[in-house]
A and B are shown apart, each in its own frame.
Chain A
Amino acid sequence: MLSRLIPVVFCGIALAKAPAQEPAQHVDLTKFPAAAVDDVVVPVPSEVFNVLDKLGSPNWNAEMRDNLGKNSGDRAQVALLLGTVIADGFIAVEAENAERVKDIGQEVLTLADAINVRKAVIARSKSITEKADAKNWSAVRSELDGALQDVKGAMEELGDEDLAQLVSLGGWIRGTEVLTSIVGKNYTLDGAQLLCQPELVNYFSRRVDAMRNSRLKKSKLVQTVRRLLKDIRPLIKRETIPIETVQKIHTMTNKVVIVITTQES
């Protein structure tokens, strides 16, 4: 298995001194370089779906979309769309809909082709189809997680870090839309708390703000995503997120998914 490695290296920086044996009960996080602490590890979709599995049995079929969207030819849109489609793959897995999973595997390949990273996901796409046929759902999930990582890795190798970030964002937005739909229909405090992701949202915002490709950064679609992150941020700071807020976030993310899917704004 080829692991992807994210460097979090800050050579020459002497940091806090550590005790040799028992771990400290408390650490001062401000002693760590902001660049390291602020660089949040983005969870893979399986981590969220794994928790949702334990919270009950939502009607996953009701969360699936008939229309996965169209490729407008705009690279930002394709990257965001690819993220949403991979997220739909997880929903189809939850619904145990093998045909839908296979369709999504093909769509991932088509969209990856449109942004020159087809090669990175050919094996994954094939494996998704095989494992969906075998109804090996946990393996399909792993392949979808892997497809997301492979696409991002291939983009980064091509120097397209900005687009790679948009793939992650597309997946996060669609995932949040579905999460809020499910939690909104069967509200529990634990379910709503899955939305408590302030540092992750801050991280996404910083990455959008730091985009090197100014044309991409200024595009209407990216600006729409940027506004969404800004608007969501204050809503997910609290540990207890009321149902009204869950529904509000659902409306917000749903609108942006429609914009990504139809490229209309």
Chain B
Amino acid sequence: MALGLSMALARVDDALSFAHEAADPYTREGFTVREDAWGGDLGVKDQQAVTAQLFKGNVYWFWLGTDTKGAVITVHIYDSEGNLAESEYWQKGRFAAAKITPKKTGTYYAIVTVEKSSRERSNWALVYGYK
């Protein structure tokens, strides 16, 4: 079942704030953060793919946040063959991020995972930026 936009917004608004909090320091490094975002909810160990067209020549960071206290979430970037393509990543509880400098222009997949959570389902939100 896919949630409607307004319902999804209400449910993951806090998660989105955390995703922006993760992104904030990078804006000072010259990254432009897109104003739109992607989100939903996932059970523990469930994964979600977000498909993006990325361009060689840009550097991208994807930032992930969840509103579930104590939850552990991750985001990793894979190319169209399913190979890990990120050059860097970090994970700090309810925040996570992955960096990619695409070797070629094409389709990439940001894979979001809820590793641990006290809740059955955890809200998540993903934003990305580029420079």
Contacts and interface: CB of A to CB of B under 8 A. Distances in A.
Interface of A: 1-18, 20, 23-29, 32, 35-44, 46-48, 50-51, 54-55, 138, 142, 145-146, 149, 156-157, 190, 193-200, 239
B35 A9 contact: no
Given A5-B36, A15-B48, A149-B36, A50 B53 contact: no
**How big is chain B's contact interface, by range?**
35 or more
Contact of A9 (B20, B39, B111): B39
Nearest to B55: A51
B55 A239 contact: no
Given A7-B5, A156-B5, 20 more contacts: A3-B16, A3-B20, A6-B36, A7-B8, A7-B38, A9-B2, A9-B8, A10-B2, A11-B121, A23-B74, A23-B84, A36-B51, A43-B54, A146-B35, A193-B105, A196-B104, A196-B105, A199-B53, A199-B107, A239-B104
A40 B5 contact: no
Contacts of B43: 14
Given A4-B35, A5-B8, A51-B57, A199 B40 contact: no
Contacts of A47: 55, 58, 130
Contacts of B67: none
A146 B34 CA distance: 9
Interface in B36-89: 36-41, 43, 45-58, 74, 76, 78, 80, 82-84, 86, 89
Contacts of B107: 40, 198-200
A7 to B, nearest CB: 4
Contacts of A28: 82
